[in-house]
Amino acid sequence: MEQKYIKSPINYSGSKYRLIKKGLIDLFPKDIDTFVDLFCGACNVSFNVKANNIICNDYINYIPELFNCWKNKSLEDINKHIDKQINEWNLSPLNKESFENFREYYNNTKNIEDLFILICYSFNYQMRFNNSHQYNSSFGKEASTMNDNIRKNVNIVADLIHNNNFQFINKDFRELKIDKLTSNDFVYCDPPYLINGAVYQDGKRGFKGWGQQDDIDLMELLDQLNNKNISFALSNVLESKGRINDKLIEWSKKYHIHYINHSYSNANYQREDKGDDIEVLITNY
């Protein structure tokens, strides 16, 4: 029987859910004490890893904030808020005016639970902001809604984080306190990919972008983990659209490279060249 995996209710560029179904987590160590998801995004990896403690970190604050909110609310109250806002604002896949009114309301109040509801009615379920952190995704007419699958995933994830030792934090990856980690712990990194030109890493949407120095700093951090005998895995691409990450290739030679056969041609960001990326998982074990 095919194994069932937990899917985050949040749609997020670069999500690893498809790779999880293809066996990504099978490449992780067994018997993990503390699992650190250093660039957790929508937490698809964290929600499917078996560990005694799970730390989900992301520099973009919205997802950790939402999951912390759900962690501290009952499942009944989570669903009551969703139903209340949908009914009061008359949200539907056809009502653009109500969506835009609710978007304006969110931008004035910044209630994190309302942001999740907005995402569910946005074009391609995208989460987008301008430089002032005002939500600016457009309406997902006839396509985006709070459907049964999303509601099911909300309930599954809420139950999971209520009954397991999850921490959701919002820090720059350079702030990781590696002195508190041991050889029984495991750090997984899925950072923005330097060479693939994804729009969410360009630094023009209210958040710092990702550049060459960030890549270098992350590789130095992973070297430090290796020196402390702490296992790590790094998801990244060696080549994309003819561009090559030479520094990453050279650095990776001292570790183990697992090649992943997968293309992000269906991702939410637009690319002129739809060729496959050379995607890898780099491990020190």
Please report, for the chain, the start and end positions of each structural domain, with discontinuous segments joined by +.
17-60+172-283, 67-153
Alpha carbon 44 to chain centroid, angstroms: 7
pLDDT at residue number 241: 84
Report the half-sphere exposure of 280 (CA within 13 A, side-chain side): 16
Report how far apart, in Å, the C-alpha atoms of 1 and of each of 4, 65 are. 9, 35
Would you place residue 198 in the very low, low, confident or very high pLDDT band (cuts 50, 70, 90)? low
Nearest to 18 by CA among 283, 279, 285, 239: 279
Is CATH 3.40.50.150 the right assignment for the domain spanning 17-60+172-283?
Answer: yes
Distance between CA atoms of residues 181 and 190, nearest Å: 19
Beta carbons of 101 and 89 less than 8 angstroms apart: yes
Same fold, 17-60+172-283 and 67-153: no
Using an 8 Å Cβ cutoff, are 45 and 24 in contact? yes
User: Max CA-CA distance within the chain?
Assistant: 57
| pLDDT in the model for residue 21 | 86
Q: What is the DSSP string of 142-158?
A: TT----HHHHHHHHHHH
Distances 75 to 70, 160, 169 between C-alpha atoms, Å: 8, 11, 21
**Percent of the chain scoring above 70 in pLDDT:** 89
Angle at 161 between CA 158 and CA 167, to 5 degrees: 135
Beta-strand pair 231-240/278-283: antiparallel
Cα distance between residue 123 and residue 121, in whole Å: 7
The crossing angle, in degrees rounded to 10, of helices 62-71 and 148-162 is: 70
pLDDT at residue 199 in the model? 47
Query: Is the distance from CB of 170 to CB of 216 less than 8 angstroms?
Result: no
Mean pLDDT for all residues in the chain = 90
Query: Could you tell me what percentage of the chain is helix, strand and coil, using 3-state DSSP and rounding each to the nearest 5?
Result: 40, 15, 45
> Rounded to whole angstroms, how far apart are CA atoms 169 and 56?
6
Chain centroid to CA 76: how far? Answer: 25
Q: What number is the average pLDDT over the span 172-194?
A: 95
pLDDT(268) > 50: no
Contact in structure between 281 and 24 (CB atoms under 8 Å): yes
Residue 230 has pLDDT above 70, yes or no: yes
Decide if pLDDT at 114 tops 90: yes
User: Tokens standing for 166?
Assistant: 């999850």
| CA 18 – CA 262 distance, rounded (Å) | 9
Q: What is the mean pLDDT of residues 134-143?
A: 95
Domain 67-153: which CATH number of 1.10.1020.10, 3.40.50.720, 3.40.50.1100, 1.10.357.140: 1.10.1020.10
Q: Give me the residues paired with residue 139 across strands.
A: 122
Mean pLDDT of 191-207: 66
The gap between the terminal CA atoms of the chain, to the nearest Å, is: 30
Residue 270 has pLDDT above 60, yes or no: no
Is the pLDDT confidence value at 201 over 60? Answer: no
pLDDT band per the 50, 70, 90 thresholds, residue 22: confident
What size, in residues, is the chain?
285
